[in-house]
Structure 1
Amino acid sequence: MAEQEVQTLIKQLNQSLSSRNFTTASSLLSRAKIALLHLNALIPSPGTPGTHLHLARETLELGALISIRLQDPESFTRYFHSLTPFYALPSSRLPKEGGNESKITGLYLLLLLSQGDYAGFHTLLEGLEVAAAEKEEGGRKGLEEDKFIQYPIRLEQALMEGSYDRVWGETKGERVPSEEFGVFSEVLIGTIRAEIASCSEKAYPSIPISNAKNLFFLDSEGAVIQFAQQRGWTARDGRIYFPQQELEALGGSEKDILVTSGQVIENTLGYARELETIV
């Protein structure tokens, strides 16, 4: 009885996800997880039937995807960790076909990037590489051809190189492997924007609004002004003015500061990420 209920709820969850009815989806998820509890299937065990494993994995994956649409990274993280023991099962018990392991794992890698957790990112990636190398068929080549895994890898490489324009380009258009990745990509851009802003306001007293548009990866000068207001900056006469700094402490003229600001930002962020990786 509970098994049929879960099957029905999964069908309704897919319909709710397609129609973006996330309020209904949340209620359905709660009911589905209660039914899975009655089946003792929320945590896989040696005695869990294969059909129940399939139902539990699909339910949890739908929960993860719905959490992303609701922009709830904490809930998504909980679902990912709940899915980990299912993903660790051998294919003989739970075939990979029909699941979304690659997509969910790639999304979690991207979430770690957006949170600045580079140590967690590399730990998970190393585990994936080891698992891929141990496979008899496909192996590492399969991982290299996986668009969901390669997307966060490309972003992380660009971040480590300080190529923020590449990061910006990767988060736009056809390079994003699915709509869900766009949510965490925007969070990542927001994190980078905040870091660059923090470095910029320490590096020089003001910059032209036209330059700020590119520097902070914003689509319009109006967006620059809105961002400046959020940061407590002043916009006037075509420039963004940061909290006043003593030019003597920085050394040189404003022109010199503007010339070196890009290096200051790149070196500061790059050094911080190297430290994070080492730790």
Structure 2
Amino acid sequence: MSTQSGPGEQLVDMWRRLPLFARNISTFSFVMSVLCYTNIVSIYRVLWHVDYIFKFVPEIWRLPTSFLLTRPDWGMLFDTYFLYKYLSELEKGNPRFPKLEDILWYLIYVALSIVTLNEFAWRFTPILSGPYYTFISGLIMALCYTVHQDQRGQMATFFVFPVPAQLVPYLMIASSLVMGGVDAIPLQIGGLLVAHSWDFGRRLWPEFAGGRCLLPTPFFLSYLVGTPRVLKRDYGSAYHPTGGEPSTGRTTGMAPGRGPLPAEWESRGPGRRLG
């Protein structure tokens, strides 16, 4: 008796094997955009508007949906593709995001920062355009900048052209100018600045100035997400040391009793090279 699954089940199984955040967020973004642009769901129910956030029954869903509504037409495909591409690169073995809650905190920080720019910068001192009611261009730019900061010195592909990885965000801004998307440029620049502030608070300040991490992942996110010590994934395994913070890789020694030598040898002090 055949137990072979059909094409639909195989597609569902392939989808489930994709990185968690990348698959769920990009799928929701695409489906919601299709429903909105075909008038099945009113687009005005998902756009950002601060008045609806602070009314008696706050419509708090507008914060995530305003970041996930794609541009119309070809934008539904391109925005969904870039959203999945960069989110999956954060999830698959990126040492700066060893836990799921780190990615979640990054997305929350980016979203709140871009909304703050929208309400206080572009609303009162508009540059080319603003205020905005959707923010996916800023989110994709922030993801693009963060991903390519870890690939400095490597080559990346921009459309079909190989370019230095660190130039990709700036080429995206230039392409918006050439292709007539001038209105999105302030939003893209804002996303780039927000991503740079994240990089400064999480990496540059602690590593080069010797300060403490300015943007630590809140404890309540770790509690809610509850990433296990060893997270088994269909696309790899992530190991998280016990004791809270992930290892920085700066120490190479072994704890006593953990190495290949007997315990009594490990207490003899440092060895000396002969000859």
Q: When the two structures are superposed, what TM-score results if normalisation uses the length of structure 1?
A: 0.31
TM-score (norm 2): 0.31
Structure having the larger proportion of residues in helix: 1
Higher normalized contact order (CA 8 Å, seq sep 6+, divided by chain length): 2
